[in-house]
Amino acid sequence: MNVVLVGGSGFIGTYLCEELLDRGHDVTVLSRSPGGDVPAGAETAMGDVTAYDSIESAFEGQDVVYNLVALSPLFEPKGGNEMHDRLHRRGTENCLRAAEEHGVERFVQLSALGADPEGPTHYIRAKGRAEGHVRDSDLDWTIFRPSVVFGDGGEFLSFTRKLTPPGVAPLPGGGKTRFQPIYVEDLVDMLADSIESETHVGETYEIGGPEQLELATVARLVRAARGQSVKIVSVPMSLAEVGLRVAGAIPGFPMGPDQYRSLQFDNTTSENDISAFGLETDDLTTLSSYLGVE
């Protein structure tokens, strides 16, 4: 099939591009600056999802669209939090319009666990509203809502390292917030499978890894992988909010108010939908095995 990966030059997109090429698909990577990391064998197209005219021609002749465009929720966006709505919601609208106008029927949307139009952060709200546009479209859509994704090139583990240096590290609520990290290659297999069967059309999948881990545990694992240790001390959520509101104004500090808010909610699946792809948790890569700290 002819497949366009919008935002395909990023972390997940690069793995997905390789997987789709391996499976014999013709892949076009569309982003603002698809550069050197795009796997050999893929076509590239330059466009910005916030500007419809810059992307629509890349949809001509395609059978499938994956929308992988991202603005990281882990850091405060340079252009302000409204950027999440611009990129994730309005960018999705532009992709849907381009798909409909060019007769591309299959649309796969990378959303995020907890996506909710009324959710607590700009990212989560924009993701939730984007999902609404996808469901309202006439396309054959599938929505994926992964928890945090790890693997070479991902930012979840480097973010955790930045947040919790070796020694003593304060975390809001003692780092009790739980995540369900999924290995990028496991996720990408499911993303690639999803276009090979009609059974996935009209489905929204919550996808998590094999374990639910507290942030404090993730911090200890990433430090152990470097032969280091970290002692997590608890900062009350209320104090952390004040501290992080101030810290968010300091360049280089990774968190602002939205990042603090996102630490108040677990990022775990209610039912892990990996079963829709014939998988069980034992089939998935654990964070500790990836880090080599069994």
Enter the DSSP assignment of 267.
B
b/e 110-129 (16+ beta carbons within 10 angstroms → b)? bbbbbbeeebebbbbbbbbb
Going from the C-alpha of 194 to that of each of 21, 101, 142, 232, the distances in angstroms are 15, 23, 8, 40
Biggest alpha carbon–alpha carbon distance for the chain: 56
Nearest distance from residue 224's CB to ligand NAP, in Å? 21
Interface with ligand NAP by CB under 6 A: which range of 67-75, 134-142, 227-235, 254-262?
67-75
Strands (E), 125-173: 140-146, 149-150, 167-172
**Cβ atoms within 10 Å of 275's Cβ, excluding its own:** 11
Residues 14-53 that bind ligand NAP (CB under 6 A): 31-33, 48-50
Nearer to ligand NAP, 144 or 235 (CB): 144
Binding mask 159-178 for ligand NAP (x = CB under 6 A): --------------------
Binding test (CB under 6 A) with ligand NAP, winner from 42, 45, 110, 139 = 110
Element (H, E) at 63: none
Least spacing, CB of residue 125 vs ligand NAP, in Å: 13
**Residue showing tokens 């002749």:** 61
Q: What minimum distance in Å lies between the beta carbon of 129 and ligand NAP? A: 13
Q: Which is nearer to ligand NAP, 9 or 28 (CB)?
A: 9
Distance between CA atoms of 289 and 111, rounded to whole angstroms?
Answer: 26
User: Among all chains, which residue has been given the structure tokens 């850091």?
Assistant: 75
Please give the Cα distance from 138 to 273 (Å, whole number).
24
Q: What number of other Cβ atoms are within 10 A of residue 239's Cβ?
A: 12
Of residues 33 and 270, the one with the C-beta less far from ligand NAP: 33
The distance of Cα 221 from the centroid of its chain, to the nearest Å, equals 21
Residue 237 CB, shortest distance to ligand NAP, in Å, is 23
Residue with tokens 């991902």: 154
Q: Total residues at the site for ligand NAP (CB under 6 A)?
A: 25
Lay out the site mask for ligand NAP across 128-157 (x = CB under 6 A, - = otherwise): ------------------x-xx----x-x-
Q: Which of residues 76-95 bind ligand NAP (CB under 6 A)?
A: 87
When the beta carbons of 46 and 168 are compared against ligand NAP, the nearer one is: 46
Minimum distance from residue 2 beta carbon to ligand NAP (Å): 19
**Toward ligand NAP, which CB reaches closer, 95 or 232?**
95
Report, in Å, the least distance between residue 88 CB and ligand NAP: 7
Rg (CA), the chain: 19
Nearer to ligand NAP, 149 or 235 (CB): 149
Q: How far is the CB of 175 from ligand NAP (least distance, A)?
A: 18
The neighbour count for residue 208, using CB atoms within 10 Å, is 26
CB of 65 to ligand NAP, least distance (A): 13
Please say whether the dihedral angle defined by the alpha carbons of residues 150, 151, 156 and 162, taken in this order, is positive or negative: positive
Residues found near ligand NAP in the complex (CB under 6 A): 7-13, 31-33, 48-50, 68-70, 72, 87, 110, 112, 146, 148-149, 154, 156
